[in-house]
Amino acid sequence: MITLNKCNICPNMCNINRNNGEIGRCKSTDKVKIALYSIHNFEEPCISGKNGSGTIFFSNCNLNCVFCQNYEISQLGKGKEYSIDELANIFIEQQEKGVENINLVTPTSYVLQIIEAIKIAKKNGLTIPIIYNTNSYENVETIKLLEGYIDVYLPDLKYVDDKLAKKYSDANNYFNLATEAIKEMIKQVGEPKFDENGIIKKGVIIRHLVLPNNIENSKKVLKWIKENLSNQIYVSVMAQYFPTYKAKEIEELNRKLTKEEWEEIENYIDDLNIENGYIQELGEHEEEYVPNWDI
């Protein structure tokens, strides 16, 4: 049984009583903490569409990625606490703005509260798709609780190499846990389904952020997807890395991707014949896409 009384929501298995104010690895309590909710236009085209994605950026995280672009909220805990009823109201408020979907970013720590908020919001007229946007360091048992509540899963697959996962995210057994969670997500919602405007209504899109000096890890991630999942599953390969947070002090991570690295990944995707998904263009101003958390 998944519970906050001896918190076992994620693989960290802190076993602390969050309902009693105890703090574990992710620093979350029984209250939902949110840094920002807004209309986001920089997700994949099938998510943002013309009207934008109704994004809710949750504070705190069960990983400690040294390169986190949202570290001010994930690691430093910027944000404000909300009740379950207030979260349900945020869902409705986003829908009333005409967004394409509700996009739950880094939601793992708050799964139990989110489920209750979805129940309330649906009774109050919530009808648009709900996206679960996760780092994939998940317990399968927790993902199973979300069946029927989540329409679209947007999981990262960060690493195949568990040594890298430990070094860069302080995560044990990341690859096995993440891939089992992703398989459960696919079991629940299946391959992507789109409306007449190309907006995703159901399904899974797997994201992968390419890190400098770690091209072989990215190739292994893509190879696993190709060899183990349906060609109908969408893959989103991201070039938006820039050195921030602790990565600035780590030699192999303290620069952006080179053109040569990105071309190697593009060519590898072609070689694998991955049929569906998105490949970002290598840009120059990725920092500009990080939200202002002081709004």
In a domain, 13, yes or no: no
Q: Does 295 have pLDDT greater than 70?
A: no
**Average pLDDT over every residue of 78-87:** 97
In a domain, 286, yes or no: no
In 3D space, the residue among 212, 284, 223 whose CA is nearest the CA of residue 248 turns out to be 212
If one counts the domains in the chain, the total is: 1
Q: Is residue 94 within 8 Å of 130, Cβ to Cβ?
A: no
In a domain, 74, yes or no: yes
In a domain, 194, yes or no: yes
**Average pLDDT over every residue of 224-240:** 96
Residue-level pLDDT at 77: 95
In a domain, 279, yes or no: no
Domain holding 114: CATH number?
3.20.20.70
- Residues 241-253 as b/e (b if ≥16 CB within 10 A, e otherwise) read bbbbbbbeeeeeb
In a domain, 112, yes or no: yes
Q: Is residue 156 within 8 Å of 209, Cβ to Cβ?
A: yes
At 283, the pLDDT band (50, 70, 90 cuts) reads: confident
In a domain, 7, yes or no: no
- In this predicted model, which residue has the larger pLDDT, 284 or 2? 2
Domain that residue 26 falls in: 18-206
**Average pLDDT over every residue of 224-248:** 96
Query: Please, what is the average pLDDT of the chain?
Result: 96
**What's the burial of 133, exposed, middle or buried (CB within 10 Å: 0-12/13-18/19+)?**
buried
Residue-level pLDDT at 292: 80
Q: Is residue 34 within 8 Å of 82, Cβ to Cβ?
A: yes
At 290, the pLDDT band (50, 70, 90 cuts) reads: confident
At 40, the pLDDT band (50, 70, 90 cuts) reads: very high
Residue-level pLDDT at 101: 98
> Helix/strand/coil (H, E, C) string of 60-85?
CCCCCCCCCCCHHHHCCCCCEEECHH
In a domain, 54, yes or no: yes
Cβ neighbors of 168 (< 8 A, separation 6 or more) are 65, 66, 67, 159, 211, 253
